[in-house]
Chains A and B, each alone.
Chain A
Amino acid sequence: MSLNTDFMVKVAHTAIQGVPVTLQIVLVALLISLPVGCLFALIRIYRIKGLEQIVKLYVSFVRGTPIIAQILIVYSAFPSLLNMIIGKAAFSINPIYYAYIVFTLNSIATLTEVFRSALQTVDKGQLEAGLMVGMRPRQIFWRIILPQALISALPNITNATLYLMKNSSLAFIMSVKDITAIAKTEAAFNYNFLEAYLVVWVYYLIICYSAEVIFYLLERYFSKYRRSTKKTTYFNWQPFSIKQPNVSAEAELTESGRGDHAQNRRIKKKL
């Protein structure tokens, strides 16, 4: 078996038009789900009555179902729903909007959990210290807690983004013309499936790898305060370092405010 390289070059050329589509889906989903996820995390941490249950339910629905099922549901439910409101025009909507909806809803759930554990890793003592220098809780949240939470969330946000990028390849199901969809069409014309898929494979590899580098640089830049003078972490330049999301690892650290005072007391006493 030999690869048809001419065909591969051709697919590479056409499929590149799908790159902006893929990136758009990822960007839209991220831009919406980052603030919303953060808000949902706060709702859960501060146990806002009523809303807390809804967020909890939402997260478990999304996390407990395969994304393919979510795609199929949104793609079959939304057009007919819209049809009832705006009539026939609903069926001529660019399907990329459905992709935005699915992937946004999906990553909101992931990021809610990411932010929840990140916010809880910020030691509550700093809140008390802020209060004792006269700052308002809101000021402490924006200036002290949130910046630290965002930085400690970065590795998990990176993972969530990589998953989002890879999952976005399922958008072809909704007839969105992303990288995967274009390559698939090309392949079907010529029956050169392997070649087309190899091209897809390389494209995703490049995109994900670039994202990983960007996030690494962000993390290094913003976490300067966490580096003690000696210890520096270097980027792992091998492209296969992609880690599994580590979302709920620290989730239950300080469920109630009490933990912290208890923790104070646990610090070993030295006479």
Chain B
Amino acid sequence: MLKIEGLRKSYDGNEILKGISVDVSKGDVISIIGPSGSGKTTLLRNMTTLEQADGGHIQFADVDKDFQKLSSKDIQTIRRNVGFVFQNYNLFNNKTALQNITEGLIVARKVNKSEAKKIALEALERVGLSDRQNHYPSQLSGGQQQRVGIARAVALNPKVIFFDEPTSALDPELVGEVLKVMRDLAESGTTMVVVTHQMNFARNVSNKVIFMADGHIVEQGSPESIFEHPSEKRTQEFLTDILANV
């Protein structure tokens, strides 16, 4: 459904992504793990056209092109079909929880107001925040803000939702509520690509794990194969480190 091949990206001459290929099928929940600075955020931002890749090919929705040849119409098509959940939520601060969700529906998708409100309320319900619809982001806890962020992505009914460390900015006691929402989404068949340091999520919720280091995909496979019998030394070291720190 979404296929990326040979994605490359450099900043100031430093190659951060050195040819990454990712294949996402419908219903996949893919976890991307790896040490800090390995390029996970950069990968997500380039896959979703938030940044322009230096090389590589994308096959998604109606688009089948090299990244560098994407027209603004292609970019619009890609963005229309992906959702993005940010590490620090990035909610619209001057909009209520409900308006955060209806904004894209009304302004970008031209859904009429009452229909948009209906969709938004359903999305809020899914993340358990129906009673917070009129709160502004500043009046919500981090966990609640992130759940609104997820509802905002879900409401647009994208083909794939990308999550960039959705729980990393949260206080530990708030991580659970967000993970639960993500787990529910996964169970209801949402296609998800999740950059995470939550090894429990990677292991128990996703059906595929990608381990990245230094701009390469070192190893990928089922959670069992990655966590039980990693074949690469880098993967073993990383897992030993991270599991020792939990």
Contacts from A to B (Cβ < 8 Å): 123, 125-126, 128-136, 139, 143-144, 147-148, 151, 224-229, 261, 264-265, 267-271
Contact yes or no, A128 B86, CB < 8 A: yes
A116 to chain B, nearest CB (A): 19
What mask results when residues 153 to 165 of chain B are scored 1 for a CB within 8 Å of chain A, else 0?
Answer: 1001000000011
Contact yes or no, B107 A264, CB < 8 A: no
Contact yes or no, A128 B168, CB < 8 A: no
A63 to B239, CA, bound (A): 58
**Which residues from chain A contact B126 at a C-beta distance below 8 Å?**
none
B227 to chain A, nearest CB (A): 16
- B48 near A: Cβ within 8 Å? yes
Q: Which of B79, B82, B93 contacts A225 (CB under 8 A)? A: B93
Contact yes or no, A226 B88, CB < 8 A: no
| B interface, size bucket | 35 or more
Query: What are the 9 closest A-B residue pairs judged by CB atoms, nearest first?
Result: A133-B104, A134-B108, A125-B90, A129-B90, A132-B84, A225-B136, A228-B138, A135-B108, A144-B92
Contact yes or no, A228 B50, CB < 8 A: no
- B203 near A: Cβ within 8 Å? no
**Which residues from chain A contact B52 at a C-beta distance below 8 Å?**
none
A263 to chain B, nearest CB (A): 8
**Minimal Cβ-Cβ distance residue in A for B167:** A270
**Minimal Cβ-Cβ distance residue in A for B109:** A134
**Which residues from chain A contact B246 at a C-beta distance below 8 Å?**
271
Q: Which of B36, B84, B172 contacts A269 (CB under 8 A)? A: B36
Contact yes or no, A133 B86, CB < 8 A: no
A147 to B93, CA, bound (A): 10
Contact sample, A vs B, 12 pairs, CB 8 Å cutoff: A123-B90, A125-B90, A132-B83, A134-B79, A144-B94, A225-B95, A226-B138, A261-B41, A267-B168, A269-B168, A270-B169, A271-B245
Contact yes or no, A135 B107, CB < 8 A: yes
**Which residues from chain B contact A147 at a C-beta distance below 8 Å?**
94
A229 to chain B, nearest CB (A): 5
**Minimal Cβ-Cβ distance residue in B for A151:** B94
- Given A126-B93, A148-B93, does the pair A134, B168 have CB atoms closer than 8 Å? no
**Minimal Cβ-Cβ distance residue in B for A269:** B168
**Which residues from chain B contact A228 at a C-beta distance below 8 Å?**
138-139
What mask results when residues 65 to 100 of chain B are scored 1 for a CB within 8 Å of chain A, else 0?
Answer: 000000000001001101110111011111110000
**Minimal Cβ-Cβ distance residue in B for A132:** B84
**Which residues from chain B contact A148 at a C-beta distance below 8 Å?**
93-94
**Minimal Cβ-Cβ distance residue in A for B36:** A269
95-143 of chain B: CB within 8 A of chain A: 95-96, 103-104, 107-109, 136-139
